[in-house]
Structure 1
Amino acid sequence: MNAIDPNPSALSDLSRVFRTDFQWGSATSAAQIEGAAALDGKGPSIWDRFCAEPGRINDGSNIAIACDHYHRYKNDVALMKWMGLQAYRFSIAWPRVQPLGRGTWNEAGFAFYDRLIDELLAAGIKPHATLYHWDLPAALHDEFDGWPSRQIVPLFADYAAEVARRFGDRLESISTLNEPWCVATLGYETAQFAPGQTSRATAAQVSHHLLLAHGEAIKAMRAVTKCKLGIVLNHTPAFPADNLREDDRRAARIDDGLNVRWYMDPVFRGQYPADIIEHLGEDAPKIEEGDLAAIQQPLDFLGVNFYTRSFISTQSPALPAPGKQGFTDMGWEIYPKALTQHLVRITREYSPPPIFITENGMANADTVVDGKVPDVERIAYLRSHLQALASAVELGVDVRGYFYWSLLDNFEWNSGYTKRFGLFHVDYATQERLAKDSAHWYRGFIETAKAGG
């Protein structure tokens, strides 16, 4: 163990809880790190367009260069190997491999991911690919209005099948979607994310088309690969601020329905939650015969992204979250206990396939001090959430891997480059990567875990 952690014996006890084949990893997404936004035949995405609209990104930045991972992937994989990562989750940019979202494939785009996968395998790191991490080809938005159109569903399935056909024999897993709630709600209802629309009815329809595209993609990929297939959902469990207030309990139930059950129920039960259909009223999506059966495809794993909880208060002014363990730089309450509770809950209610924690991490106002980044807050966050995960495992939850978000400081969507989630600090002017103290801590933890505790 390294000197950053004062109690290696405690970490040894913690690491022994997990399976010997548990995968310790980190995660990124294409739009947030790759850059090379218009190189080698890549088409524009809706996020390239969104960044160009004044006022959309808090610091006025864009993703033209980002972390320049497109050119620096070998160095970044070397950082993963140094840290001892056993797995790496990345996304494929649809407009990089199919610029128009339909028709001709871009071989130069596929060649990049081919090189990346080879580099990961040579380093002994299992590659986990995500097909859609929000960067829709702008051409599909122009031609069909994007996800509000049902016509996008078969196009996504075609894209999924092509990726699976080319790479399925070398990938550890393929996820169809990352966080469809964010795509639908933040992109089409609150306008925080691309494409920046504000319609609850449109968002509801988008959520249905996303899930339908997931189901059709799973079917299309099953025909061409034996790779493990699943979906990644963001779960933010809702807690009533005052359990004695019926209004708080009811509001928390609705919040849970919109965030968790709206996506879990169709994927694992073949139905949408009745109370949320009623809540949406005329804004509920149009569902055609056979849609729900198409969505409910057998999966090999469920990816869960967890960062915080929702603290639901109907009082005016609303009661703030207590934040006894603090808040991240995003303003999110640090509450690891919710991770244990939630994993136990969804295991009991849905009997899902094996679970991967596909994202978990914190933004912190990191600073470089004498050539180091002393991010003690992130180490505390990481340790407490691994302890919460271990508690869930001890309670019978089948978890097979953990991916810290994120490997690198990167473009944090509408926050631009103002929020730093990475294990590695990135100087965006020089593209220099610097291992934070949390990277050293995680490296030591993984070493302990590999040694069997």
Structure 2
Amino acid sequence: MRQIHFEDDFLWGCATASYQVEGAVDADGRKQSIWDTFSKVPGAVMNGDDGTIASDQYHRYVEDVKLMADLNFQAYRFSLAWPRIMPDGTGEVNMAGVDYYIRLSKELKKQGLEVVATLYHWDLPQVLQDRGGWTNRQTAYDFQNYAEACFNHLGPYVDRWITLNEPFCAAYLGYLTGEHAPGIKDAKQANRAVHHLNLAHGLALQSYRKTGLAAPIGTTLNPIAPRPASRKPEDILASEYARAFNTDVFLLPLFNQGYPKLVTEGMGISYPIEDGDMAIIGEKIDFLGINYYQEGAVVYDETKQGKNRDVPVWQPVTNQGWPVTPFGLLRILHYIQGFDPNLPLYITENGCASDDEVVDARVHDLFRCDYILKHLAICKQAIDEGIHLKGYFIWSFMDNFEWAWGYSRRFGIVYVDYETQQRIPKDSAYMLRDVIAGYCETL
């Protein structure tokens, strides 16, 4: 065993998303989101599950925040529900929804935790989807108005802002593969969504700079950069194609480098760019959040638009079938830091789903403990190699509604009994308590 040391200013946090944990979908003026609608589609979500109750954090946030504090966490990253704050997508602000987030923020500060608020974690108001959702350019401006309302009402309480969570998922899973809400399978719509999500981020950032608020603001990506399965030049090119389509279309515009030529020229994809868009998207961020879970491998395949095809890998997998590949995190950190050596980076999500059972009032999730420790070792190695990594947020603080998987997969370091809503910290929670206290031991 060896002990790994992180500096005292390294930020330790936990994370969730509104639709996954809050429940209370009809409470205090909240209206329908695309996930409320999608969950009603037969076969869309495993077992017909939905987020109607979820982990009931809307009513149990005081208990949850106390548990976060007891586990030594220094920050809580949660998302604001657009249909709770602005139920009609635009226009009037629902102050009852705002008040919930004020109460949550005050409770976090009372317990000594930083407030890290994500403006959008996929729960688009259904009324905006009825007008085209992210395929409609107007949605980017609607997001800007919603963001301004959040800045105005929650600005005094938020310590860090994140504009979007994983636009890859919102665009591609929502509009290309149809795995996520709104369940559309149309490549042209997906590519329009890519650009409008990027534009929404930039517009919100522009508005934020005018507020005079001092809290840092950034965005969060889930960079997907599969390694080449061989040293053949064509397989290396396949890896570059995969990274360009999955990651660089969101990453490069943040650094004023436009859309990657491998996508626009190599794949023949065009985006609905209007004058001034790319400068808006390239507005300087204060930090970048990185969500990392796995790395795959690809080979070249001329028959695919993206010129790449996934191939089997050898690593052990989580119960979602995702390979455990911690060194992929090191590769992606170096790649992203190369765009701006001084930009602070945060791991805003990392974790795994595993088969968790309660035995004698305990949950011994040793697979998850091993997963986390291996990735923390990589975080430390990255820092030692010059990466400007400033914090780590575990996904997820608690078991929750896992999107299309429903409640069949558990990512939490806190077990949730969905019948009683009892919270039971797992071994991974106590392990992270030790890590934050300064005792991080890995093989």
Shorter chain as denominator, the TM-score bin is over 0.9
1:321 aligns with 2:307: no
Query: How far apart are the structure 2 equivalents of 1:249 and 1:394?
Result: 27
Choose which of 107, 121, 131 in structure 1 pairs with 2:119. Answer: 131
Q: Name the counterpart of 2:32.
A: 44
1:168 aligns with 2:155: yes
**Displacement after TM superposition at 1:98 (Å):** 0.6
Q: Name the counterpart of 1:178.
A: 165
Letter in 1 for 2:165: N
Structure 2 segments unaligned to the other structure (5+ residues):
304-308
SS at match of 1:174: strand
Contact 1:270 1:295 (C-alpha < 8 Å) held by counterparts: no
TM-score, length basis structure 2: 0.95
Choose which of 370, 376, 383 in structure 2 pairs with 1:393. Answer: 383
**Displacement after TM superposition at 1:319 (Å):** 3.8
Query: How far apart are the structure 2 equivalents of 1:266 and 1:365?
Result: 39
**Displacement after TM superposition at 1:314 (Å):** 4.7
**Displacement after TM superposition at 1:318 (Å):** 6.3
1:94 aligns with 2:82: yes
Query: How far apart are the structure 2 equivalents of 1:55 and 1:110?
Result: 33
Instruction: Tell me: CA distance 1:260–1:351, structure 2 relative to 1, closer, same or farther (3 Å).
Output: farther
Query: How far apart are the structure 1 equivalents of 2:390 and 2:439?
Result: 13
Contact 1:35 1:66 (C-alpha < 8 Å) held by counterparts: yes
Q: How does 1:188-203 map to 2 (within 5 A)?
A: 188-203=175-190
Q: How does 1:279-294 map to 2 (within 5 A)?
A: 279-281=266-268, 283-294=269-280
Q: Name the counterpart of 1:84.
A: 72
Q: Name the counterpart of 2:306.
A: none
Percent of residue pairs identical:
41
Structure 1 segments unaligned to the other structure (5+ residues):
1-6
Contact 1:301 1:352 (C-alpha < 8 Å) held by counterparts: no
TM-score, length basis structure 1: 0.93
1:233 aligns with 2:221: yes
CA RMSD of aligned residues (A): 1.6
Letter in 2 for 1:263: F
SS at match of 2:133: coil
Q: Name the counterpart of 2:297.
A: 311
Instruction: Tell me: CA distance 1:351–1:271, structure 2 relative to 1, closer, same or farther (3 Å).
Output: farther
Deviating more after overlay: 344-353 vs 199-208? 344-353
**Displacement after TM superposition at 1:141 (Å):** 1.0
Letter in 2 for 1:364: S
Contact 1:184 1:204 (C-alpha < 8 Å) held by counterparts: yes
Contact 2:341 2:388 (C-alpha < 8 Å) held by counterparts: no
Aligned length: 433
Letter in 2 for 1:369: V
Query: How far apart are the structure 1 equivalents of 2:417 and 2:299?
Result: 40
Instruction: Tell me: CA distance 1:55–1:279, structure 2 relative to 1, closer, same or farther (3 Å).
Output: farther
Q: Name the counterpart of 2:331.
A: 341
1:300 aligns with 2:286: yes
Letter in 2 for 1:271: G
Deviating more after overlay: 403-412 vs 225-234? 225-234
Q: Name the counterpart of 1:145.
A: 132
Letter in 2 for 1:327: V
SS at match of 2:245: helix
**Displacement after TM superposition at 1:309 (Å):** 0.5
Deviating more after overlay: 386-395 vs 266-275? 266-275
Q: How does 1:415-426 map to 2 (within 5 A)?
A: 415-426=405-416
Letter in 1 for 2:379: L
Letter in 2 for 1:445: V
Q: Name the counterpart of 1:107.
A: 95
